[in-house]
């Protein structure tokens, strides 16, 4: 038997938001999220059936244009594909569990770049890779993306590979806002992961920041 002490796993972070992974199984993921007063999780698309249970405190939960104030002792059932956001407008911390049941045939997470202006985009121009480090670098990118995906506001992280004999890689990172991106960028996760990639590359990688204005795609 394994017993998880929820109180001891509360995380808020320097920016008043935090996520603690409690269960990581192929068909079950449970996270505990903490929001200090005034903090929020911006609107995003749910990519798996989700149940939220408030552990302590209360806040406003937005799901597909509807909103409700939810406190401890209540569950919220959120279907796959729904748009949701959370605001702690109270004077006390809000702590809640997010229970997801990923499905093998679930639709992929939609990129908001398809339809929404204002998304914060980071283009990373990685420094050249050292010889023989391509496989290790791609494994690092896969692992680091899984870690960053747990941060609130994350939308996607895409690796672009070199062509025509180049050794340069690039990445496109989508976040729901500059604020959520900076929360991730200043996190211990980011510092540790980018320290791990240093032995694989020559020099420093260069970030370029943009805000999405419009997007147009050709017909299939």
Q: How far apart are CA 108 and CA 104, in angstroms?
A: 10
The confidence band for 166, taking pLDDT boundaries of 50, 70 and 90, is low
Q: Are the CB atoms for 62 and 85 separated by under 8 Å?
A: yes
Mean local confidence (pLDDT), 144-161: 88
- pLDDT confidence of residue 76: 93
In a domain, 51, yes or no: yes
Q: Are the CB atoms for 149 and 31 separated by under 8 Å?
A: no
User: Do 11 and 94 fall into the same domain?
Assistant: yes
Taking every pair of Cα atoms in the chain, the longest distance, rounded to a whole number of angstroms, is 59
The confidence band for 114, taking pLDDT boundaries of 50, 70 and 90, is very low
- pLDDT confidence of residue 80: 87
Nearest to 176 by CA among 104, 96, 120, 98: 120
Domain end position, chosen among 66, 100, 134: 100
The confidence band for 113, taking pLDDT boundaries of 50, 70 and 90, is very low
pTM above 0.95, yes or no: no
- Give the strand pairing for 170-175 and 94-100: unpaired
Nearest to 88 by CA among 70, 63, 65: 70
Total domains present in the chain: 2
Phi, psi of 39 (to 5 degrees): -90, 160
Mean local confidence (pLDDT), 146-157: 88
Domain end position, chosen among 45, 70, 100: 100
- pLDDT confidence of residue 108: 47
The residue range of the domain holding 64 is 7-100
- Residue 188 pLDDT greater than 80, yes or no: yes
As a three-state string, the secondary structure of the chain is CCCCCCHHHCCCCCCCEEEEEEEEECCEEEEEEEECCCCEEEEEECCCCEEEEEEECEEEEEECCEEEEEECCCEEEECCCCEEEEECCCCCCEEEEEEECCCCCCCCCCCHHHCCCCCEEEEEECCCECCCCHHHHHHHHHHHHHHHCCCCCEEEEEEECCCCCCCCCEEEEEECCHHHHHHHHCCHHHHHHHHHHHHHECCCCEEEEEECCCCCCCCC
Instruction: Quote the percentage of the chain above a pLDDT of 70.
Output: 87
- Residue 35 has a CB neighbour count (10 Å cut-off) of 23
- Residue 153 pLDDT greater than 60, yes or no: yes
- The residue with greater pLDDT, 166 or 30, is 30
Domain end position, chosen among 46, 67, 100: 100
User: Do 36 and 68 fall into the same domain?
Assistant: yes
In a domain, 91, yes or no: yes
In a domain, 218, yes or no: no
The confidence band for 53, taking pLDDT boundaries of 50, 70 and 90, is very high
Mean local confidence (pLDDT), 6-15: 84
- pLDDT confidence of residue 83: 85
User: Do 57 and 136 fall into the same domain?
Assistant: no
In a domain, 76, yes or no: yes
Mean local confidence (pLDDT), 43-52: 85
The enclosing domain of 15 has a CATH number of 2.60.120.10
Beta bridge partners of 58: 71
Mean local confidence (pLDDT), 66-93: 90
Q: What is the pLDDT of residues 84-105, one digit of tens each?
A: 889 999 999 999 999 998 765 5
User: Do 96 and 125 fall into the same domain?
Assistant: no
Q: Are the CB atoms for 137 and 193 separated by under 8 Å?
A: no
In a domain, 158, yes or no: yes
In a domain, 129, yes or no: yes
User: Do 165 and 206 fall into the same domain?
Assistant: yes
User: Do 116 and 94 fall into the same domain?
Assistant: no
- Residue 218 pLDDT greater than 60, yes or no: no
In a domain, 173, yes or no: yes
Nearest to 45 by CA among 110, 93, 1: 110
Q: How far apart are CA 62 and CA 67, in angstroms?
A: 4
In a domain, 2, yes or no: no
């Amino acid at each position: 038997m394994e017993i998880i002490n929820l109180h001891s796993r509360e995380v808020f972070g320097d920016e008043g938001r935090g996520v603690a992974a409690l269960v990581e199984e192929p068909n079950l993921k449970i996270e505990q999220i903490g929001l200090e007063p005034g903090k929020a999780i911006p609107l995003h698309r749910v990519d798996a059936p989700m149940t939220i249970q408030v552990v302590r405190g209360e806040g406003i939960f937005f799901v597909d244009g509807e909103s409700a104030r939810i406190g401890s002792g209540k569950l919220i059932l959120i279907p796959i594909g729904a748009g949701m956001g959370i605001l702690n407008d109270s004077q006390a911390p809000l702590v809640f569990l997010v229970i997801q049941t990923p499905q093998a045939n679930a639709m992929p997470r939609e990129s908001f770049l398809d339809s929404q202006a204002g998304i914060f985009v980071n283009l990373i121009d990685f420094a050249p890779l050292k010889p023989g480090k391509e496989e290790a670098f791609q494994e690092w990118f896969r692992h680091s993306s899984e870690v960053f995906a747990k941060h609130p506001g994350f939308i996607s992280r895409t690796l672009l590979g070199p062509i025509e004999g180049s050794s340069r890689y690039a990445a496109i990172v989508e976040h729901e806002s500059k604020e959520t991106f900076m929360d991730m960028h200043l996190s211990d996760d980011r510092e540790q992961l980018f320290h791990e990639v240093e032995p694989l590359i020559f020099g420093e990688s260069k970030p370029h920041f943009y805000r999405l204005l419009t997007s147009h795609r050709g017909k299939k």
